[in-house]
Structure 1
Amino acid sequence: MFNFLPKSTTLDVACLSRLFEHKTTSYKLLFFGALLSLLEKESERKTWKGKYSYRSICIEMLIDAWYPHRFFALSFGLQDKVGSILEKIEFPTDENACKAQNARDLRAQIEYQFEAIQAKSLLRYAPYRLLTPFFTKELSGTRDSARRMRINELADQRFFTPTPPLYRICQIEQTIHLHPYWMAYLTQHLPIIKSWHQHHWASFLQSRNPNVPAVITKATKPSFRRSLTKQKAFWEKILGHTEIYCVYSGKLLTKENYALDHFLPWSFVGHDQLWNLIPSDPTQNSIKGSKLPCRHDIQKFIETQHHALTTSYALLKKTEWKIAIESYRTDLKLAPCDIIDKTELTNAYNQQLDPMISLAENMGFVKRR
């Protein structure tokens, strides 16, 4: 990963490249990500100070960690205590949480609950451990109990030398001071550094959640939800030619009054594939939110999907139908001729849904009542 980072004639970029060589927990990754977020905000305002309070860093860390852990229910590992702090934050985890206004509300809630959730405990070790690559030789043989004090001393001693560390720690002020040279380097190459950090963050999350789908898309707060225009167009053609009933309420649906539901919640699957979408009564869709379907929902869902697929087979042009069924072929592993075979479709869905629902339950997703 060293070759991925931009070179510097004055700074030891090799030390920076080793920041995440040893990452058993999320702390270092979240701490560095918080520094980048704060530096990016300064860059946008063109007010570079490079001096960040413990409080502001902790808030950024919790915001970055909240979406993967609370919204997408990803694990940070058994040794990681960040999750226990996030669980204390009183904030709704429904699918509206990724909207801009809710993101601002999340920040406000973390600031308000800062002391109650003991947020400052995040910085007990992370600021010191992140500096370890800059003092590898000097720390050789140092006992664990003495490493924090020694790292603090070394950072102060080297801060005004030609080979400075990334930052120094001011315990009295409770602040982190980025070195001006490193601040200039990070600012100049911010998009590349952020991508490098995101690679490590996604890799960490994938290692802790090996069987979870679409982990890389769940590493950060979703910036937007993709349009469901094509998926709605498919279902509205079906709704216009045959009767479709809500799998949750049994209510007859119309093109003018329906909502498109992610049968397995979007916050779990992380995609908008047609095989997982079903028209539903808008009220029921709102109530279901990010909950998992019940066992008795599944057969109704499969029957509705089969009815829609056989209807679309007769209704659509051959090329249109091939495009529409692509996700059924790739994700459910069905041949085109088997997609309209009810037995084959049922078997494929059961093989796909049963393990995914079990995994989602183990992650903390609950079933609708």
Structure 2
Amino acid sequence: MTLPDKGPVHGELLGQTLDHTTASYKIVLVKAILRHVQAGGSDFVPFDALLRSILESIWIPVARFRHTLGQTDQLSQLLDAVPEDVRLYGTFQQALPHLDLGRQTQERIFRWPLSVFLRPWFHVAGRKPPLDVKLGRTAISSAACAIYLPYDVETDGLRLDRTFKGYVASNMALLDGWADMAYINYLQRRNPNVPAISLKLREEERPGLRNQRLFWKNAMRKTSSTCLYTGTPLDPENFHLDHFVPRRFVAHDRLWNLVPVVPEINLRKGVGVPDPGLIPSVARAHLSALKAAFDASIPKMEDMREEYLDDLGITSETFADPVAFEAAMHETLQPLVNLARKRFPDWRHS
């Protein structure tokens, strides 16, 4: 992505800061600076506020969606102090009391990225950049270095150059997209087997399941249906749809991954991964519901039918072949279960 120039701010140099990143620090530093400017912050960004903003930017991907930033990444290690239930279901505000944002943590986290980020400006000026930053002992300023820098490193925080701050404010949408793209690419490299990384940077507004509920409600009215996990008969007017493979992992509401369950079980299961031995039961429930749906006028039924054809790699004839349909469901669900279990807890009804 080409970033624009404005006065002393050269887009090419700024773009170089996130080229070939091997760690997350510079990316989330940029995102924290963007968030500070977007919120109308002053020229000065205290280190404690900067660290808090950085941790907030990794909260959703790392805590909620269980992405890894790398085995040696110290930012994600800070989240290990947060209780598991808060990481899975809580908010960043609930996590804050468990996080160490003190001076020693600041010194450890900011030692390298603050100077590494500035390297393009030092290199273009033919100057050797500082190797690292020791908070309170290393100061980096445009005036002292006699070169333009987007920020100065002071004792207790960063002081943003006002021209740079104005540049960020006037190009916020572009820079936000640039930083997100770098973040997504980095996360995808670190999490190659995780689907839909781009949807997992922040909380999303989930669409409703109206049509999927109508599909299963129709099936329940035509055939007896029971909860996948308890065997309890289901009430067409009082049931929940559970994502068999957690939605946190698959990031979609495709019909073939949804099963009707009693409400209390769905609430208890949360983001747990069920026993893959239940996949044949899932397949049989779907095939029975599909046969009932073919005889009814259900909104978006043709679109939902195509989800099976496209995602399971089957043909229309497979709907008439229970063995082939179960095999297709198993080939689709089993690998997803295997991958989800590496990140989310196993769950069994007891």
Normalized against structure 1, the TM-score is what? Answer: 0.85
Q: Which AA in structure 1 matches 2:234? A: L
Q: 1:94 to 1:137 in 2, by over 3 A?
A: closer
- Residue 154 of structure 2 is matched in structure 1 by 170
In the alignment, does 2:346 pair up with 1:362?
Answer: no
Instruction: Give the deviation of 1:119 after TM superposition.
Output: 4.7
* Residues 221-230 or 284-293, more deviating: 221-230
**Within 2, Cα distance between the matches of 1:299 and 1:94?**
32
1:34 aligns with 2:32: yes
Q: How many Å apart are 1:124 and its aligned residue?
A: 2.4
The aligned residue for residue 250 of structure 1 is 231
Is the CA contact 2:227–2:261 (under 8 Å) kept in the aligned structure 1? yes
Shift of 1:153: 5.4
Q: What's the offset of the Cα at 1:139?
A: 7.1
Is residue 197 from structure 1 mapped to residue 179 from structure 2 by the alignment? yes
1:187 is displaced (CA, Å) by 0.3
Aligned partner of residue 233 in structure 1, secondary structure: helix
Which of 222, 230, 240 is the equivalent residue of 1:241?
222
Report the CA distance between 1:141 and its aligned residue. 6.4
When residues 122 and 111 of structure 1 are mapped into structure 2, their CA distance, relative to the original with a 3 A threshold, is farther
- Shift in alpha-carbon separation, 1:72–1:112, aligned structure 2, 3 A: closer
| Deviation at residue 117 of structure 1 after TM alignment | 11
Query: Where does 1:1-369 land on structure 2 (aligned, <5 Å)?
Result: 1=1, 3=2, 5-42=3-40, 48-90=41-83, 92=85, 97=89, 103=91, 106-111=92-97, 113-115=99-101, 119-120=105-106, 121-137=108-124, 146-148=131-133, 155-157=141-143, 164-171=148-155, 174-218=156-200, 220-316=201-297, 321-369=301-349
Taking the aligned partners of 1:264 and 1:339, their CA distance within structure 2 comes to 22
Q: TM-score, normalised by structure 2?
A: 0.90
Between the aligned partners of 2:99 and 2:132, the Cα distance in structure 1 is: 31
Shift of 1:360: 1.5
Displacement of 1:322 in angstroms is 2.3
Q: State how far apart, in whole Å, the 2-side matches of 1:40 and 1:227 are.
A: 31
Quote the Cα distance in structure 1 between the aligned partners of 2:202 and 2:238: 30
How many positions carry a matched residue from both structures? 346
Q: SS where residue 295 of structure 2 aligns?
A: helix
Percent identity, aligned pairs only, is 24
Moved more, 119-128 or 21-30: 119-128
2:101 and 2:70 map into 1 onto residues whose CA distance is 24
Q: Which runs of 5+ in 2 are unaligned?
A: none
User: Equivalents in 2 of 1:73, 1:147: separation in Å?
Assistant: 30
Q: Which runs of 5+ in 1 are unaligned?
A: 43-47
CA distance in 2, matches of 1:18, 1:236: 54
Deviation, structure 1 residue 349: 1.2
Deviations 1:13-50 (A, max 9, x none): 211011111311111111111111121111xxxxx512
What's the RMSD between the two structures over aligned residues?
Answer: 2.6
Contact 2:139 2:152 in 1 (8 A): no
8 Å CA contact 2:246, 2:272 repeated in 1: yes
**How far, CA to CA, are the matches of 2:300 and 2:209 in structure 1?**
17
Kept after mapping to 1: 8 A contact 2:13/2:121 = yes
Give the partner amino acid of 2:110: L
Residues 80-105 of structure 1: per-residue CA shift (max 9 Å, x gap): 2222111212363577x4xxxx54xx
